[in-house]
Amino acid sequence: MVILEAQKIYKSYGNKFNKQEVLKGIDVSIGKGEFLSIMGASGSGKTTLLNVLSSIDHVSTGSIKIEGKEITSLKEKQLAEFRKKSLGFIFQDYNLLDTLTVKENILLPLSIAKVSRKAADSLFNSLASELGIREIEHKYPNEISGGQKQRTSAARAFIHEPSIIFADEPTGALDSKSASDLLNKLSELNMKRGSTIAMVTHDPVAASYSSRVIFIKDGQIYTQLTKGEQDRQAFFKDIMKTQAVLGGVQHES
């Protein structure tokens, strides 16, 4: 089953006298339960692609359907409602509210959706245990490590069981151990819960945790790799080879 289908996606900035075309007719689909990574050199359009797929930004032209719903034609209020119910987000800089505890940050999407306290606590206990953050539930963001902040951010993205979770460089601000801890947890949640994840990353190690990688070059899909039956190490090597052909991928600010 296809969760997201995007066709002929174009995105440009500026006006007719000074136009910069960033996405140039991209087609992409994401299956239910898939863990997709999007890679590409700095300026290739990978972050712009994630932004339009996730409704953070608008396409110039093209169609994006999530669970069969055409999101490009939704008005702002409808889009905000759809986003709250159907999408989850993990950002590089965590986006946690400093005045709320870890638990309160995680439960925010459920309180907005008016889920009962009992049901919310049940969902929290299960997810926080899986992500290894039960023991810090009463702490505030300024009292925990970067890795714990990002796992809190991940829990908030998963808590309302959205159709798809978008992750923008989720390991970008983490040390290697915290990054691998997070990626292992995302991979486990993807497999155990059948959660659908689309992640932009510049890091081939991070991408090797996914089931498919698409490479963007000059606003178009250059190629893609599917993990299949390979182990993560073999998939990592394939990603590195493709990256070398592309001329390397730098960190995109």
What tens digit of pLDDT does each residue of 52-81 get?
999 999 999 999 999 999 999 999 999 999
* 88: pLDDT strictly greater than 70: yes
Helices (H) and strands (E) in the chain, counts: 8, 10
* 247: pLDDT strictly greater than 80: no
Confidence at residue 142, expressed as pLDDT on a 0 to 100 scale: 96
* 13: pLDDT strictly greater than 60: yes
Write down the residue that tokens 């190629």 correspond to.
Answer: 223
pLDDT bin (cut points 50, 70, 90) of residue 251 is very low
Average pLDDT score over the chain: 94
Residue 252 belongs to a domain = no
Rg (CA), the chain: 18
Domain with residue 208: its CATH number is 3.40.50.300
Residue 62 belongs to a domain = yes
Confidence at residue 250, expressed as pLDDT on a 0 to 100 scale: 44
E strand spans, the chain: 2-15, 18-31, 35-40, 61-66, 69-70, 87-91, 164-168, 197-200, 212-217, 220-226
In the chain, the percentage of residues whose pLDDT exceeds 70 is: 98
Domain that holds residue 231: 2-246
3-state secondary structure of 124: helix
Contact 140, 104 (CB under 8 A): no
Confidence at residue 249, expressed as pLDDT on a 0 to 100 scale: 45
pTM of the predicted protein model: 0.93
Residue 251 belongs to a domain = no
* 5: pLDDT strictly greater than 60: yes
Q: Counting Cβ atoms within 10 Å, is residue 231 exposed (0-12), middle (13-18) or buried (19+)?
A: exposed
Residue 253 belongs to a domain = no
Phi, psi (degrees; rounded to nearest 5) at 37: -110, 145
DSSP bridge partners of 6: 28, 64
Confidence at residue 253, expressed as pLDDT on a 0 to 100 scale: 32
Average the pLDDT over 113-130 and give the result.
93
Total number of domains in the chain? 1
pLDDT digits (tens, 9 = 90+) for 74-84: 999 999 999 99
In the chain, the percentage of residues whose pLDDT exceeds 90 is: 90
* 228: pLDDT strictly greater than 50: yes
Residue 137 belongs to a domain = yes
pLDDT bin (cut points 50, 70, 90) of residue 18 is confident
d(CA 3, CA 77) in angstroms, rounded, equals 22
pLDDT digits (tens, 9 = 90+) for 131-146: 999 999 999 999 999 9
3-state secondary structure of 164: strand
